[in-house]
Amino acid sequence: MAAASSLHVAAPAATPRVGSVAHKSASSAARSVRVARSGAVARSGGRLVACAAVATKADAPATDAASKSEGHEVLLFEALREGLMEEMEADPTVCVFGEDVGHYGGSYKVTKGLADKYGDLRVLDTPIAENSFTGMGVGAGMKGLRPVVEGMNMGFLLLAYNQISNNCGMLHYTSGGQFKIPLVIRGPGGVGRQLGAEHSQRLESYFQSIPGLQMVACSTPYNAKGLMKAAIRSENPVVLFEHVLLYNLKEKIPDEEYVCCLEEAEMVRPGEHVTILTYSRMRYHVMQAAKTLVNKGYDPEVIDIRSLKPFDLHTIGNSIKKTHRVLIVEECMRTGGIGASLRSAIIDNFWDYLDAPIMCLSSQDVPTPYAATLEDATVVQPAQIVAAVEQICQ
């Protein structure tokens, strides 16, 4: 799959696509943009090296970067900002709503500098009322703006659940397609470092049922920027999950413009013995476990599923057909998490290709405790991943 040179790239028929990355509002001209293809990673020419659990730099770019130029190093939160800024520059209807996003620059600095550049009207500091500024985003979206709503912490967006489920997800459908809501809802979530239970929520669990929403989770500076841009351009409401512990990841990303595909999974490490499906921070725990596994003689294939709704069953399926063994590693809680749904989807679609029961490693079904030792025990650690692979591959 060669990297496409035009924005209007024809998608391979089998790859599921909800929205078209090629769709653009009339106001902007077609630009030459490469759409990153996860499949191209294997042919990038460089051997992929596993990344550390919480990497401060990547040894090699995780995706195809046949760049013509040097590229530049960014931290993940800067990559998000770059993506946001590029879209705001190109499309005057893109705006940002959230608490402390304006002059404070956002609690994780993703929106730093934007208010100075684009003004208070386009980067709006809101009072503390998540349901309301999300509702405001819905109304503005229905009227033609493309708001990016920031939850200071994803957990706070539980207060916005009414607007997200009953309105954001529904109004395109219930209005018979008359009103669209091209909203992006983003923010940091996941289990951090001793932030306490209320600041350690995994909202992808709660949102995954809502019809009408798309969900993606970024994990590297490269895919963070690409997914941010794709989410903003999508005509559907997209929830972009960032992780509190990944904001300072450093990676070299291309200088030229690129967009990632919202519905695509990312091949992190090709392998033969077992398919490990993961996303967000757990990707790094998996890659750390992979180092150990390689030393023990295993060859895991690691896929960062990235698209949480819908699942990229094409990429996942191809992997399962090769390895016949699946391990899901997620940060959601055991009950009702992404892993539970993914397992179900795999059983429905690829039952015949499985040589072993699907294993799923999830967080404990407990509110995340504060104490560091307890907190570590609630999420999946690399040692558990190693043990699980050993068990699956018996």
Q: Which residues contribute to the site for other proteins (CB under 8 A)?
A: 16-20, 23, 95, 121-122, 124, 126-127, 129, 131-145, 147, 162-163, 166-167, 170-180, 211-212, 214, 234-236, 263, 310-311, 313
Tell me the closest approach of the beta carbon of residue 189 to other proteins, in angstroms.
Answer: 22
Nearer to other proteins, 153 or 167 (CB): 167
Tell me the closest approach of the beta carbon of residue 121 to other proteins, in angstroms.
Answer: 6
Nearer to other proteins, 145 or 152 (CB): 145
Catalytic residue among 199, 243, 273, 285: 199
Nearer to other proteins, 12 or 367 (CB): 12
Q: Is 136 exposed, middle or buried (0-12, 13-18, 19+ CB in 10 A)?
A: middle
Helices (H) and strands (E) in the chain, counts: 12, 16
In whole angstroms, how far apart are CA 342 and each of 111, 203, 254, 321, 361? 33, 16, 32, 16, 12
Tokens (6 digits) for 67? 């760049």
Tell me the closest approach of the beta carbon of residue 338 to other proteins, in angstroms.
Answer: 14
Beta-ladder partners of 187: 241
Omega before 310 within 30 of 0, i.e. cis: yes
Classify 348 as helix, strand or coil: helix
Nearer to other proteins, 137 or 155 (CB): 137
In b/e form, how buried is each residue of 47-86, taking b as 16+ CB within 10 angstroms? ebebbebebeebeebbbbbeeeeebeebbbbbbbbbbbbb
Tell me the closest approach of the beta carbon of residue 283 to other proteins, in angstroms.
Answer: 23
Tell me the closest approach of the beta carbon of residue 207 to other proteins, in angstroms.
Answer: 15
For the question of residue 130 being annotated catalytic, the response is: yes
In whole angstroms, how far apart are CA 289 and each of 52, 149, 262, 385? 9, 35, 27, 6
Is residue 215 a contact partner of residue 167, using CB atoms and an 8 Å limit?
no
Nearer to other proteins, 50 or 217 (CB): 217
Nearer to other proteins, 74 or 90 (CB): 90
Phi-psi map region of 194: left, alpha, beta (phi>0 left; psi -120 to 50 alpha): left
For the question of residue 266 being annotated catalytic, the response is: no
Kindly give the pairing relationship between strand 258-259 and strand 238-243: unpaired
Tell me how far apart the alpha carbons of residues 54 and 349 are, in angstroms, rounded to a whole number: 33
Tell me the closest approach of the beta carbon of residue 312 to other proteins, in angstroms.
Answer: 10
Catalytic residue among 78, 99, 130, 266: 130
What residues act catalytically? 130, 199
